[in-house]
Chain A
Amino acid sequence: MYPQEFFFTRDHEWVKVEGEIATVGITDFAQKQLGDVVYIELPAIGTVLTVHQTVGAIESVKAVSDVFSPLSGEVLEVNSALNDSPELVNQDPHGQGWIVRLKVKNKEELNQLMTASEYEKYVESLEV
């Protein structure tokens, strides 16, 4: 259900690391909780983030949800397609709904995150 190569936070962000580059988004569980996404605030390219720092905000008709960075790093790329099509976050949260790409500072921070199966168990416990 959740991509095996991803890592996950308790705030429902996912991160995929390829070499020095980390791609970040929110999970399918998160997009379901949020409802129809209508607006996303993206950070500026070059922004230096520490782990847990707010990356941006995702808004539905009803609510605002902060996105927290799973890792420390520098923003290399943002998914500007989300400006015109915020619904991509709902439709393809693990793929086309990605939010930012970071240059990873310290890969050891991945040890703080959950694996796909750990995240699945975590989500199950929340749904009870």
Chain B
Amino acid sequence: MKRTRFFEAHRHASAKFIEFFGWEMPLEYSGIMSEHLAVRERAGLFDVSHMGEIIIKGPDALAFVQYLTPNDASRLTPGQAQYTALTTPQGTFVDDMLVYCLDNDRYLLVVNAANTDKDYNWVLSQKAKFDVVIDNASDRTSQLALQGPRAQEILQPLTDLKLEEINSFCWLKGTIAGIDCLVSRTGYTGEDGFEIYTEAPDPIAIWDAIMEEGKKYDLLPVGLGARDSLRLEAKLMLYGNDIDETTTVLEADLKWIVKFKKGEFIGREALLRQLEAGLKRKIAGFELIDRGIARRHYPVYYRGEKVSEVTSGTFSPFLKKSIGLTYLPLEATEIGTEIEIGIREKKVKAKVIPTPFYKRAK
């Protein structure tokens, strides 16, 4: 199994490790509940170095990014980023990702750990008509995420950057603990926070400095277990669970990242046709009415018929109730619609509710 450059820090913090797509990653340290609540109430520090970074460079870099993705990357100036996807000709997902505008001729794609090789090969397979060079920077790039209401206070003393100048989905380059980093105000938790990228061969000082500074705020290291429960409360997609090569961007309720007017992109035709014909199904959030916990792959019933499976589900540590996501026939996505989830031999009542399940107070 591969290990990130912060592995020793996790061992030192008594992490429980699991295998995640070939990586030996921390599942939890002090427990999923306490880590989850730490992020909502104070702050948490995540090692997300397993994620992939692909750099597109050259005179046709923007044109190529525009072709590969449904969102409009021409709206980005250097110092900005946006949520988007790599789409198939059917308008479904190769992956979801962030694209950062590093420069007018350089864009950074930050992709899921599970898909890094697939995405790199996909990008290579599409680049023939474009004057670009593709650089898979994943192995040399480490990434941390510091998330929570206290994140900025914890990070500020450690950096030469003025963090209040970094707006949401923006980034700047500077140093943290003296080490060169790219710092963006982005994240996967629904809280304020930062994602920190570095190519330093020995970045552990960044982790140690943040943990030390964070002591007075009761900052906790957070593993993949709480990362999943946090993103689900915020209704953020997880590739492989909620989105994949069989779900379109529209069915995934992500119409807001599709900018038809920006010009041609892979899957534009298919998505336009689907928009005009009307969706047959769409992802919806639900909560259980009766006792139980809905989990991925449990059957979902509407009017007595099995219509789909739960794509993601858990007991929400912050909301203290069972929540989940599933694709439903369009009419059933109306708020209040009653559905049933098959949990072992029982059919447990649930209802469609608005999402995100959790939204941080302004």
Contacts and interface: CB of A to CB of B under 8 A. Distances in A.
Contact of B344 (A39, A57, A60, A83): A57
B293 A59 contact: yes
Contacts of A36: 31-34
Determine which residue in B27, B34, B292, B315 has the highest number of CB atoms from chain A within 10 A of its CB, and name it. B315
Contacts of A57: 344
A64 B344 CA distance: 11
Contact of A39 (B28, B31, B228, B293): B293
B225 interface: yes
Specify the main secondary structure of chain B where it touches its partner: mixed
Given A61-B225, A61-B314, A61-B317, A35 B32 contact: yes
Contacts of B315: 38-39, 59, 61
A60 B32 contact: yes
Determine which residue in A35, A39, A57, A61 has the highest number of CB atoms from chain B within 10 A of its CB, and name it. A61
Contacts of A38: 33, 293, 315, 317
Contacts of B344: 41, 57
A62 interface: yes
Given A35-B225, A38-B315, A39-B315, A61 B291 contact: no
B295 interface: yes
Contact of B229 (A39, A41, A61, A83): A61
A60 B32 CA distance: 9
Contacts of A35: 28, 31-32, 225
Determine which residue in B33, B229, B291, B292 has the highest number of CB atoms from chain A within 10 A of its CB, and name it. B33
Nearest to A66: B344
Interface string A37-66: 011010000000000000001011110100
Contacts of A83: 291
A61 B295 contact: no
A39 B344 CA distance: 14
Given A35-B225, A38-B315, A59-B315, A64 B32 contact: no
Contacts of B322: 39
A65 to B, nearest CB: 12
Nearest to B344: A57
Nearest to B295: A64
B293 A62 contact: no
A56 B246 CA distance: 35
A83 B291 CA distance: 9
Nearest to B322: A39
A59 B229 CA distance: 14
Contacts of A60: 32
Interface in A14-53: 35-36, 38-39, 41
A38 B295 CA distance: 14
Interface string B33-46: 11010000000000
A38 B344 CA distance: 17
B292 A61 contact: no
A121 B209 CA distance: 41
Interface in B289-339: 291-293, 295, 314-315, 317, 322
Contact of B33 (A39, A59, A61, A64): A61
Nearest to B320: A38
A41 B315 CA distance: 14
B33 to A, nearest CB: 4
14 contacts: A35-B28, A35-B31, A35-B32, A35-B225, A36-B31, A36-B33, A39-B291, A39-B293, A57-B344, A61-B33, A61-B36, A61-B225, A61-B315, A62-B314
Closest 4 CB pairs of A and B: A36-B33, A38-B315, A61-B32, A59-B293
